[in-house]
């Protein structure tokens, strides 16, 4: 930021999006601007007196907000100089770290070694049906294979460059600056980043509670609801059909993230697609990253015809089309992949990881993941933003809980991926124990 006046203007705009006490609202507004990059690390905030006068709050309220921000590690007071914004964790930062012994921070397939990859003819892969390789809807063969895997309503499929692009396209079509979007608490941090960039305000609530959903729809009048039935980061599997029913009754669009739908353990069935309940207002987001390999960057969207046409236009604006070679390779692998065998292997890795954590870190608590690739651990009395730095010093990357909340909550939680091979998981847990004992 340049001048204090610019910062004050941004804070005024953000204040109205938050609830709670005046100090909590102000702290949330500052945290929002730091998370989106509107306030950069090292920025000095206006003095308590100047900010109080500018936003119409008492000096004591501003002081309480600054104290809360400092306690949460988002700001620091420098004697005789003022209050400064510190660097904050970002979801994108999980993919930008340097080399580590074990990366437990990203909920992705670590490598494609579980796939039976046949010899591939590069020339054949590059012979796209459309000649030039640009097909905005996606490779016809891949789309047919994806249609065969889906349990939802019969709808056209739009291939995307990963599920992250699918969420981004959904936000471009459904959200405008200042809109509210209902999300779970906690929820996928990558979606929160997309909503922030769109200028929308995410409202976190317990989506498994019908009364909470009904109340939030009436109170906030959101532009959309983002729902994840196989949850990232918690690994819980939930029946969220009531969310679709209530959203449909309120005429609110729904973004259902089904990237983890294939990874459900212990014989539990995958949740029913919410598009069956809210067919005309649901955008369904899917991905092959969790069953094949994240490096392919191939995902998909489905929606009713009018909505899908708008998503296709947004896709054309974004990148014209997903890479033809990646799509054809994904189709080859999808025909050969044994999803059942991969789910069984991940289930074994989950159980191995839980046993190692219980042996080396008995004070940590968690619920056994029912699906997905990660475990949601509680660290008693810890600030996991700080613990993440200590863990990295021991060679392990982890994802602090604050990344999975629009308000920076869950600071005593970590998302830990269990997708690595067991030997690496053992080394990672030993390193986490060293960081915890320091």
Handedness of CA 334, 424, 403, 261 (dihedral sign): positive
> Six-digit token pair at 321?
């089309």
Q: How confident is the model at residue 150 (pLDDT cuts 50, 70, 90)?
A: confident
pLDDT at 68: 83
Residue 184: name the closest of 201, 199, 202 by CA: 202
CA distance 202 to 221: 12
Lowest mean pLDDT among 13-27, 43-57, 263-277: 13-27
pLDDT band at 1 (very low <50, low <70, confident <90, very high): very low
pLDDT tens-digit map of 345-389: 999 999 999 999 999 999 999 999 999 999 999 999 999 988 998
* Residue 38: closest CA among 105, 102, 90: 90
Domains of the chain, each with CATH number or no CATH? 4-85 (1.10.10.10), 92-112+340-437 (3.90.1150.10), 133-336 (3.40.640.10)
Interacting residues of 433 by C-beta distance below 8 A, sequence separation 6+: 360, 361
- Looking at the predicted structure, is the pLDDT value of residue 4 above 90? no
Residue 213 to residue 225: CA distance in whole angstroms: 10
3-state helix, strand, coil in the chain (%, to 5): 45, 15, 40
Calculate mean pLDDT across residues 34-53: 84
Best-predicted range by mean pLDDT (13-17, 101-105, 145-149, 422-426) = 422-426
pLDDT of residue 172: 97
Mean pLDDT score, 327-340: 85
pLDDT value at residue 119: 64
pLDDT for residue 90 is more than 70:
no
- Rounded mean pLDDT, 28-36: 80
C-alpha to C-alpha distance for 397 and 98, rounded to whole angstroms? 9
Q: Are residues 216 and 203 in contact, defined by beta-carbon separation less than 8 angstroms?
A: yes
Nearest to 377 by CA among 177, 100, 396, 174: 396
How far is it, in rounded angstroms, from Cα 415 to Cα 401?
7
Q: What is the mean pLDDT of the chain?
A: 89
Per-residue model confidence as pLDDT tens digits over 238-260: 999 999 999 999 999 999 999 99
Structure-model confidence comparison of residues 61 and 110, the more confident one = 61
Give which of 145, 368, 338, 370 is closest to 260, Cα–Cα.
370
Phi, psi of 228 (to 5 degrees): -130, 105
Residue 268 is predicted with a pLDDT of 94
State the pLDDT at residue 99: 59
Q: What percent of the chain has pLDDT over 90?
A: 60
Q: What is the pLDDT of residues 101-136, one digit of tens each?
A: 889 998 887 777 777 666 666 666 666 565 666 777
Q: Which pair of structure tokens corresponds to residue 121? A: 């003819």
Instruction: Tell me the pLDDT tens digit for each residue of 189-226.
Output: 999 999 988 989 999 999 999 999 999 999 999 999 99
CB 158 within 8 Å of CB 138: yes
Cα–Cα distance, 374 to 125 (Å, whole number): 33
pLDDT of residue 128: 57
Query: Could you tell me the two tokens for 336?
Result: 């050969």
Residues 6 or more apart from 354 whose CB is under 8 A from it? 366, 368, 375, 418
Predicted confidence (pLDDT) at residue 29 exceeds the cutoff of 90: no
Say yes or no to pLDDT of 169 above 90.
yes
205 close to 219: Cβ distance less than 8 angstroms: no
Check: CB of residue 408 under 8 Å from CB of residue 402: yes
pLDDT tens for 298-309 read 999 999 999 999
Q: Which residues of 179-199 are buried (b: 16+ CB within 10 A; e: fewer)?
A: bbbbbbbbbbbbbbbbbbebe
């Amino acid at each position: 930021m340049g001048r204090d006046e610019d910062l004050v203007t941004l804070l005024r705009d953000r204040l109205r999006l938050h609830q709670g006490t005046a100090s909590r609202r102000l702290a949330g507004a500052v945290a929002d601007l730091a998370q989106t990059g509107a306030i950069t690390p090292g920025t000095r905030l206006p003095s308590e007196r100047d900010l109080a006068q500018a936003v119409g709050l008492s000096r004591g309220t501003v002081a309480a907000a600054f104290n809360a921000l400092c306690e949460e590690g988002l700001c620091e007071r420098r004697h005789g100089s003022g209050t400064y914004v510190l660097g904050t964790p970002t979801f994108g930062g999980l993919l930008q770290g340097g080399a580590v012994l074990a990366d437990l921070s990203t909920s992705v397939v670590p490598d494609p070694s579980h796939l039976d990859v046949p010899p591939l003819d590069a020339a054949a892969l590059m012979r796209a049906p459309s000649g030039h390789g640009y097909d905005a809807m996606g490779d016809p063969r891949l789309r047919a294979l994806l249609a065969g895997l889906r349990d939802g309503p019969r709808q056209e499929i739009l291939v995307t460059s990963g599920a992250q692009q699918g969420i981004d396209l959904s936000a471009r079509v459904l959200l405008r600056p200042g809109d509210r979007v209902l999300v779970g608490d906690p929820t996928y941090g990558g979606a929160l980043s997309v909503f922030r960039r769109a200028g929308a305000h995410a409202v976190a609530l317990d989506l498994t509670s019908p009364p909470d959903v009904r109340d939030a729809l009436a109170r906030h009048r959101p532009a959309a609801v983002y729902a994840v039935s196989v949850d990232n980061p918690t690994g819980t599997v939930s029946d969220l059909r009531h969310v679709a029913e209530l959203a449909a009754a309120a005429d609110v669009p729904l973004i259902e993230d089904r990237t983890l739908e294939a990874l459900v353990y212990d014989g539990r069935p995958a949740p029913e697609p919410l598009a069956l309940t809210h067919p005309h207002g649901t955008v369904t987001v899917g991905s092959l990253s969790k069953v094949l390999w994240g490096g392919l960057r191939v995902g998909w969207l489905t929606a009713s015809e009018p909505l899908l046409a708008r998503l296709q236009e947004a896709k054309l604006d974004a990148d014209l089309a997903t890479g033809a070679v990646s799509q054809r390779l994904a189709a080859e692998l999808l025909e050969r992949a044994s999803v059942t065998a991969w789910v069984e292997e991940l289930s074994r890795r989950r159980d191995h990881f839980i046993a190692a954590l219980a042996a080396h870190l008995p004070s940590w608590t968690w619920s056994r993941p029912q699906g997905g690739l990660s475990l949601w651990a509680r660290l008693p009395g810890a600030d996991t933003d700080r613990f993440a730095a200590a863990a990295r010093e021991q060679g392990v990357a982890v994802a602090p809980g604050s990344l999975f909340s629009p308000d920076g909550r869950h600071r005593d939680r970590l998302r830990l991926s269990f997708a690595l091979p067991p030997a690496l998981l053992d080394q990672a847990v030993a390193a986490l124990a060293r960081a915890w004992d320091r």
